Amino acid sequence: MEGAIAPMMASTDSNLPLITSFNLRKYFPIRGGLFSSRIGDVRAVDGVSLDVRESETVGLVGESGCGKTTVGRLLLRLIEPTSGHTYYHPSPDVLARLESLYDTLKSSTGADGNGAAATPEAAAALKELDEIADQYSLYRLKHSKMKELRGKLQIVFQDPFSSLSPRMLVRDIIGEPLAIHHAGSRSERAMRVAELVQQVGLNPEHLWRFPHEFSGGQRQRIGIARALALRPEFIVLDEPTSALDVSVQAQILNILKKLQAEQRLSYLFISHHLSVVRAMSHKVAVMYLGQIVERAATEDLFSRPLHPYTQALLSAIPIPDPSLKRERIVLKGDVPSPAAPPAGCRFHTRCPAVMPVCSHAEPPLIEVRKAHWVACHLYPPSGGVPVPNPAGPLGSVGENGVTNVGALPAA
Amino acid sequence: MAALSTSMPVAPAETPLPRAPATSEPSEPTPSSATSPVVLDVRDLKTYFFTYDGVVLALDGVSFKVRRGETLGLVGETGCGKSVTAFSVVRLIPDPPGRIISGKVLFRGIDLLWGLSSEARIKTDPKTGRARIRRSFRRIKTGLERMSAVRGRGISMIFQEPTQAMNPVFSVADQISEALLLHQGIPIVDDLLGATPDAPEVLPALEALVEESRRGNTDALREASRRVGEAAHLRTFGTQAYYLAREAEPDSEDLMRRLNKARHRLHLSGLERVYLRHRRRRMEVEDAFHDVYLSEMREGRIDRHNRRILRARRGRLRLSGFYYGIWGIRGRVQRPLKDETFWRTVNRLEEVSIANPVQVARGYPHELSGGMLQRVMITMALAVDPVILIADEPTTALDVTIQAQILELMRGLKTRIGTAILLITHDLAVIAEVADRVCVMYAGQIVETARARDLYAHPLHPYTQGLLASIPNLERPDKRLSSIPGSVPDLIHPPKGCRFHPRCSYAMPICTEVRPPTTVEGSEHTVACHLYKGPTAVE
Q: Which pLDDT belongs to residue B229?
A: 92
Chain A residues whose beta carbon lies within 8 Å of the beta carbon of residue B376 = none
Q: Which pLDDT belongs to residue B26?
A: 40
Q: Which pLDDT belongs to residue B20?
A: 36
CB B184 within 8 Å of CB B259: no
Distance from CA of A137 to the nearest CA of B (A): 35
Cβ contact A322–B372 (<8 Å):
no
Select from A368, A352, A363, A362 the least CA-distant residue to A403. Answer: A352
Tens digits of residue pLDDT in A123-148: 888 888 888 888 889 999 999 999 98
Q: Is the whole-model pTM more than 0.90?
A: no
What gap in Å lies between CA A386 and CA B112, rounded to an integer? 62
Distance from CA of B524 to the nearest CA of A (A): 16
Q: φ, ψ for residue B442 (rounded to 5)?
A: -145, 125
Cβ contact A320–B369 (<8 Å):
no
What gap in Å lies between CA B42 and CA B81, rounded to an integer? 14
Concatenated DSSP letters of B198-219: T-TTHHHHHHHHHHHHHHT-HH
**Pairing relationship of beta strands B54-67 and B38-51 according to DSSP bridges:** antiparallel
Q: Which pLDDT belongs to residue A110?
A: 52
3-class secondary-structure state, position B423: strand
**Would the pLDDT of A18 be above 50?**
yes
Chain B residues whose beta carbon lies within 8 Å of the beta carbon of residue A215 = 487-488
Confidence of residue A108 (pLDDT cuts 50, 70, 90): low
Select from B269, B228, B221 the least CA-distant residue to B246. Answer: B221
Domains and CATH numbers, chain A: 3-280 (3.40.50.300), 283-374 (no CATH)
Q: Which pLDDT belongs to residue A30?
A: 85
**Would the pLDDT of A407 be above 70?**
no
CB B89 within 8 Å of CB B40: yes
Q: Provide the β-strand partners of residue A410.
A: none
Q: What is each CA distance from B51 to B131, B133, B288, B495, in whole angstroms?
A: 9, 11, 39, 19
3-class secondary-structure state, position A273: coil
Spell out the residues 6+ positions from residue B391 whose beta carbon is closer than 8 angstroms to its own. B157, B158, B410, B421, B422, B423, B424
Q: How many CB atoms lie within 10 A of CB A225?
A: 24
User: Could you state, in chain order, the average pLDDT of each consecutive group of 10 residues for chain B (539 residues)?
Assistant: 43 38 39 73 92 88 91 89 91 87 90 86 82 87 89 89 88 93 91 90 90 84 91 92 84 83 90 92 94 90 92 93 85 90 92 85 89 87 87 84 84 82 90 91 93 91 90 70 80 89 90 91 89 78
Distance from CA of A246 to the nearest CA of B (A): 6
What gap in Å lies between CA A351 and CA B124, rounded to an integer? 63
CB A26 within 8 Å of CB A44: yes
- Element of type H or E holding B476: none
ipTM above 0.85, yes or no: no
Chain A residues whose beta carbon lies within 8 Å of the beta carbon of residue B372 = 334
Count of A-B CB contacts under 8 Å: 133
CB B201 within 8 Å of CB B189: no
Q: What is each CA distance from B251 to B205, B207, B247, B254, B256, in whole angstroms?
A: 18, 13, 12, 9, 11
Q: How many CB atoms lie within 10 A of CB B54?
A: 16
Distance from CA of B523 to the nearest CA of A (A): 17
Spell out the residues 6+ positions from residue B89 whose beta carbon is closer than 8 angstroms to its own. B40, B42, B105, B112, B155, B390, B422
Q: Which pLDDT belongs to residue A115?
A: 53
Residue of A nearest to B431 (CA): A320
Cβ-count burial A274-313 (b if 16+ within 10 Å, e if not): bbbbbbbbbbbbbbbbbbbbbbbbbebbbbbbbbbbbbbb
CB A375 within 8 Å of CB A363: yes
What gap in Å lies between CA A169 and CA A164, rounded to an integer? 10
Cβ contact A321–B483 (<8 Å):
no
**Would the pLDDT of A295 be above 90?**
yes
- The pLDDT > 70 percentage for chain A reads 86
**Would the pLDDT of A385 be above 60?**
no
Q: φ, ψ for residue B332 (rounded to 5)?
A: -70, -45
Cβ contact B401–A312 (<8 Å):
yes
User: How much is the average pLDDT of A284-298?
Assistant: 93
Task: Write the burial class of residue B5 (CB in 10 Å: 0-12 exposed, 13-18 middle, 19+ buried).
Answer: middle
CB B375 within 8 Å of CB B140: no
Q: Which pLDDT belongs to residue A388?
A: 46
